[in-house]
Amino acid sequence: MKIIRTIPGMREFSAGIRGQGRTIGFVPTMGALHEGHLSLMRVAREHADELVASIFVNPTQFGPAEDLAKYPRPFDRDCRLAESEGCAALFHPDAAEMYPAPYRTYVTVEELGGRLCGISRPDHFRGVATVVLKLLNIVAPDFAVFGQKDAQQAIVLKRMISDLNVPVRLIVAPTVRESDGLAMSSRNVYLTAHERSDVPRIYEGLRAAQRLFESGERSAERLLNAARDTYNKASAFKSEYIELVDIASLSPVKTVSGPALLAVACRTVESNTRLIDNIIPGGEI
């Protein structure tokens, strides 16, 4: 596996692959790789001849009071994991390579970026859309794979790729969970032991809503209440939002009649860790 730190180096590597008539599957990450990321790499390899991943803890998607500085960066371990998944190249630029002064250009996806997580993280999706567009322009993949765990991110990026005519196919892969249902996240390492034992309730609440949906319930209020009932029993976290929204517009629905996203964000009490999860009752992104 080649570790590439410069934009011209990455472009040259991709051009070499394309020159052989081979396709590229791309998995952009912020590192601290877990089984969720590795599952995205496997999906990318199923679709494309070569796998390229990136590790870049993107400063423009963190708010001023967020965890940019403490975000985990186990780079050597990440390299071993990416290589074990058959990654041909790992793009690992630093912030000065990606945002040389005087950097000024940002991509916004109106409406979608301001809902759900965008309420407490106002510039987050602007930062995500911008860095992903940059990475797509640099890596020039045929496919890019994102996880359903970050559903709003996938929906924002799908809209951006379509709106800006970016020549790439976006693939959304299923959320990978721990055996107790907790969605895998690089931020799970922040959790205290007490929090870790309580946060599986996040998915339990979503599953309660899912079961009610499968029994025929379509009222958003009643589906959301099934999840809320579970969260009210939690001591280690509080929900920041829990919403049932249209999967394309992210605007709240009253009754589920088409593809909808049931999304939740929680914050733990002790370590102040923000965790998100979601289900898509009867649909996909």
Pairing of strands 237-246, 260-268: antiparallel
- Please count the residues of this chain forming the interface with a copy of itself, following the rule CB under 8 A: 29
- Minimal distance, residue 118 CB to a copy of itself, in Å: 13
37 catalytic per annotation: yes
CB nearer a copy of itself, residue 159 or residue 196 = 159
- Minimal distance, residue 6 CB to a copy of itself, in Å: 12
With CA atoms as reference, report the closest residue to 237 among 262, 282, 274: 274
Provide the token pair at 270: 């002790």
With CA atoms as reference, report the closest residue to 231 among 258, 186, 269, 260: 269
Stretch that binds a copy of itself, among 125-133, 171-179, 213-221, 275-283 (CB under 8 A): 125-133
With CA atoms as reference, report the closest residue to 188 among 73, 32, 30: 32
**From 34, 37, 92, 124, the catalytic residue:** 37
How far is Cα 203 from Cα 268, in angstroms, rounded to an integer? 14
CB 56 within 8 A of CB 14: no
Q: Is 5 in the site for a copy of itself (CB under 8 A)?
A: no
* Torsion angle in degrees (nearest 10) through CA of 120, 126, 129, 134: -140
Q: How crowded is residue 31: how many other Cβ atoms within 10 Å of its Cβ?
A: 23
* Residues in 157-196 that interact with a copy of itself by CB under 8 A: 159-160, 163-167
Q: Is 248 in the site for a copy of itself (CB under 8 A)?
A: yes
- Minimal distance, residue 266 CB to a copy of itself, in Å: 27
Q: Quick one: which of 86, 94, 106, 258 contacts a copy of itself (CB under 8 A)?
A: 106
The contact set with a copy of itself (CB under 8 A) reads: 7, 11, 102-112, 129-130, 133-134, 137-138, 140, 159-160, 163-167, 248-249
Catalytic residues: 37
